[in-house]
A and B are shown apart, each in its own frame.
Chain A
Amino acid sequence: MTRQNVHISTMVLAVLIALGLPLVVHSPTYLHIMILLYLYAYLTTSWNLVGGFAGVLPLGHAVFVGIGAYASTMLYLQYGVSPWIGMLVGGVISVMIGVLIGLPTFKMRGAYFALATIAFGEGVRVMIENIDYIGPLKLNGPRGLQIPPLNVGLANMLFLDKKPYYYIILFMLIAVLALTWVISRRKLGYYLNAGGEEPEAAMALGVNVARCKLMAMAMSSFLTALAGTFWAQLTLFIHPKSVMSLDLSFEIAFIALIGGRGSIAGPVLGALLLRPVSDFSRIYFGDKLPGLHLIIFGVVLILVMIFQPRGIQEPLTRAYNKLVDRIVSRRARGVLESA
């Protein structure tokens, strides 16, 4: 058994477990927790294209979630357009906004970039809260929009059961992970990494750093907006403080940073670690100890940054590689002995 075969079988096993989970778990609460876990892993992986590979710190990604959610919901409520199409419309609008933010901000250094994205995100949220109508389009200001649970079915991405949602977000997550893997193995991935680590050196070697970052931003904002539509269809109620909140922007960044920015496994591991913490502390301590999960988030974040600045994926990857080495070498020894 070669190393590559072990990697492939691990991945196949993980996918099979994820696919089979709803056959064993029937409780809608637990399925909902899993759906949120995948959703956050998806959002964080999309964030990671900019925040990880391009080496900047965007703290306003909730804007794109909001654009995706609002675009598909408004199209569905007013014109009966299927959210599957609305999803793509939201994605395209998001790309335009993302490039619009990226053009002036990517020239800025660390903290300035983070501040600019915060200000942009909060500025858009405040604007949406103040607008009831854009021409004929109803935004409904701070009260938000509600999707009536009628005409359920795949065509409208509306289900009464949690299972279809589970499979949709699972496939979205697998797709975005595959996309990240492909990018990281291609020229764009190397260029992004180089531009993030040593912009001057990369530019001296002829890498168009700004263009690579813009491409990453465009992809990231498109993918994030798709999750926004999914969110709207899952919760059936969106308002600026939910889909565009600063807390959401920060939570996405936190999960990526704790998991390990710039790695493919990092966002998934971060979501696996932090989402259950947040869900279970909300279920069990939500009324008695409000904000407990955010204290845990903060403490974990500080500890990880001090002791494992590359995130929890680093020690976990090391342990996994050691395990693979042992399996491979044992097999090799067995082959030798039998020969």
Chain B
Amino acid sequence: MFGLLEDSINGILMGSIYGLTALGLTLIFGVLKVINFAHGSLLMVAMYAAFWAVTLTGVHPYVALVLVVPFMYLFGYYLQDIIIKPIFKAERDVREPVTVIIVTTGVWYVLDNLSLLLFGPQYRALTPNPLRGKMLEFGGMMVSVPKLWGFVAAMLVACAIYLFFQKSRMGRAIRATSLDRDAASLMGISQYKIYNIAFGIGTAVAGVAGVALVPFYNVFPSVGVLFDIKCYIIVVLGGLGSIWGAMLGGIIVGLIESVGPQFMTATWTEAIVYGLFLVVLFVKPSGLFGARADW
């Protein structure tokens, strides 16, 4: 019973980091109405960026945020501007932008294998790592410190994004474009600029997740794939385009993964997550929490 509580807490913490990775995906979807299949690869790029920033400069792992987040923002901004925008323009009247999915899949393959080519297949862990294996004990329960910080970061980022979308001028422009791109264009909002910015923000959020993961997670070229499929599952569970849905979906997946092994072989939990995903997809495609999905 006690172990169950400890597992649940660690599951919630890890799940909130899953939610953070899914948050970027759900933001990009909410505005562009496109599932970015390269999102896991962008997370991988962020993790390598964080890893090298810390290794080369020797700063504290969390200080890397100031380098990684702007870098990832620009990376996403120009990825959208150079590669995805032309497809959008060609396909603007198509209701189901399948070509964009295909192109982002191409980006996924290029990024993953480029990093395999550049950095090799080995698993890398931060070597001077003040946070490695650090545990906090309260009431006899052990809680991982880097995961706790990841949880804090996830909640802060989710709140910040929410406030940004609700209150700021740019946030309102993004929401207007997401609701009706043509009407927003008529109001003088540059549609493609908004897309670039939204893609940049989504990628920057993946940057935060990358920095949060690096202190306790190995970096390797295909690390994105592990998160990729989880991210799709989480965003569909929470409702595509919903910020809080992504966080809750992440926590659900995290809980299943950490509590599940108490009752079954650990590898079976993965099958349970896929099963839950398919059930939700068939029964309630708008997500567990009924987020508005207009397609």
A122 adjacent to B102 (CB under 8 Å) = no
Instruction: Please give, as numbers and ranges, the residues of chain B lying within 8 Å of A112 by CB-CB distance.
Output: 236, 281, 285
Binary contact track B217-238/A, C-beta < 8 Å → 1, others 0: 0000100010001001100100
Q: Which residues of A contact B107 (CB under 8 A)?
A: 298, 302
Contacts of B109 in A (CB 8 A): 250, 294-295, 297-298, 301
* Contacting pair A109 B295 (CB below 8 A): yes
Is B87 among interface residues, defined by CB-CB distance under 8 A?
yes
Contacts of A292 in B (CB 8 A): 113, 117
In the complex, the answer to whether B282 meets A104 with C-beta atoms within 8 Å is: yes
Q: Specify which of B97, B112, B225, B285 is in contact with A108 (CB 8 Å cutoff).
A: B285
**Is the beta-carbon distance between A302 and B101 smaller than 8 angstroms?**
no
Majority SS at the chain A contact face: helix
Name A104's closest neighbour in chain B (CB-CB).
B282
> Which B residues touch A309, using CB under 8 A?
90-91, 99
Interface of B is mostly: helix
Chain A-chain B contacts (Cβ-Cβ < 8 Å), number: 121
A216 nearest CB across to chain B (Å): 17
Q: Which of A21-29, A125-133, A152-160, A169-177 contacts B (4 or more CB under 8 A)?
A: A125-133
A288 CB → nearest B CB, Å:
10
| Contact (A123, B267) CB under 8 Å given A110-B101, A301-B106 | no
Q: Quick check: A118 and B229 within 8 Å, CB to CB?
A: yes
What 5 pairs between A and B have smallest CB-CB spacing? A123-B274, A291-B113, A298-B109, A298-B110, A110-B96
Are A298 and B270 CB-contacts (below 8 A) given A115-B35, A290-B121, A306-B87?
Answer: no
> How many positions in chain B have a CB within 8 Å of any CB in the partner chain?
45
A122 to chain B, nearest CB (A): 6
User: Do B102 and A305 touch (CB < 8 A)?
Assistant: yes
- Alpha-carbon separation in the docked complex, A122 to B112 (Å): 19
B residues less than 8 Å from A130 (CB atoms): 265, 267-268, 271
Contact B275 A123 (CB under 8 A): yes
Could you list 15 A-B pairs, sorted by A, with CB under 8 Å?
A: A104-B281, A115-B232, A119-B233, A123-B274, A123-B278, A127-B271, A250-B105, A290-B113, A290-B121, A295-B117, A298-B107, A301-B109, A302-B106, A305-B87, A309-B91
